[in-house]
Amino acid sequence: MPSLPRNRVRALGLVTDERPVPLPGPNEILIKVAAAGLNRGDIVQRRGHYPPPVGASDILGLEVAGEVAARGSKVTRFKLGEKVMSLVTGGGYAQFCLAHEAHTFGIPTGLSMVAAASVPETLMTVWHNVFQRGRLDAGETLLVHGGTSGIGVTAIQLAKAFEAKVIVTAGSATKCDFCRELGADVAIDYRNDDFVQEVLFATDGAGAHVILDSIGGDYIGRNLEAAAVDGRIVQIGFMNTPFARANFSLLMIKRLVYTGSTLRAQSVEAKARLAHAVETNAIPVLKQERLRPVIDSTFPLERAADAHRRMETGQHIGKIVLTMT
């Protein structure tokens, strides 16, 4: 392996630290990080509520883009110096980060490092939850809560690419306008309108076939009301609370499926299968430019705390990305 400098990182308390450059295992690559995507999970981990899986780095950061700096003995997919983007279990807020080769993608021609760093977590989350767990099909209606989040802007574009109708909720008229510009058929300002009534109106009373929810709280019961018969509700987070009072008889009356997932703790094998599905189905949409990464803002690694504050305001549209200097 080539000689490498010390690894400058932003650790859990968002303080600068220096650590040895990690050594790749047999199926791992070492990425010289150019940019790292910021995700809600980073904030939850910083607050002490999302511990990394056993064996994962305690450094924040779940997706990166950069160049292959070193390869494990069994790596076959990528060459030294190749530009890649990858989902990682931690360690992204650093100059060098380990990634499993099976969770890594080549960066499409013309895509910047900043844009590439915003792709792996969102594409894998959306594909798994909307298309695998939610089984969204062409002609069906998808309801996405938080349409201008990183997940939201990806879900809108990917669902439209597969010929679904998309309804979103967002927190302002400006955000609703942006969602419509991205392709959303209906955008609901949840601060002023009842999304249940608006969804039923937009679907002639039928409701949404798939609902992607990262909010929780009272949305849990309202999602049951907004869902179509034989609908699928997929929970991917709880920005409010995981506790709710709801009329769960609607699960039976409408024959609903209520499911959910987290991505980080899934096995290497499960994430490899998901990455293969994304590479087969979603990456081509990205290459065809029917899906464009939406970047809200960038911050240098030293200003990771400012990046977190930006996300915590809820004012961002699209992804926040850290850059290495």
Residue extents of the structural domains in the chain: 7-119+293-323, 123-260
- Phi then psi for residue 176, to 5 deg, are -65, -40
pLDDT score of 247: 97
Look at residue 286 in the predicted model and tell me its pLDDT.
98
Q: Which fold has domain 7-119+293-323?
A: Quinone Oxidoreductase; Chain A, domain 1 (3.90.180)
Task: For residue range 24-59, list pLDDT tens digits in order.
Answer: 999 999 999 999 999 999 999 999 988 899 989 999
The answer to whether the beta carbons of residues 35 and 82 sit under 8 Å apart is no
Domain 123-260, CATH: 3.40.50.720
**Mean pLDDT of residues grouped by 10 in the chain (325 residues)?**
58 75 97 97 92 92 98 97 98 97 98 98 98 98 98 98 98 98 98 98 98 98 98 96 96 98 96 98 97 97 95 96 92
Neighbours of 191 (CB within 10 A): 10
Query: What is the per-residue pLDDT for 44?
Result: 93
What CA–CA distances, in Å, run from 314 to 8, 187, 239, 308, 311? Answer: 29, 17, 11, 10, 6
Alpha-carbon distance values, 196 to 24, 290, 291 (Å): 49, 29, 28
Per-residue pLDDT tens digits for 201-227:
999 999 999 999 999 999 999 999 999
- Around Cβ 288, how many Cβ atoms within 10 Å? 10
Place of tokens 């039976």: 252
Q: Look at residue 2 in the predicted model and tell me its pLDDT.
A: 47
Give the burial class of 242: count Cβ atoms within 10 A of its Cβ; 0-12 exposed, 13-18 middle, 19 or more buried.
exposed
Lookup: tokens for 141: 């209606």
DSSP state string for 158-169? HHHHTT-EEEEE
- C-beta separation of 66 from 35 below 8 A: yes
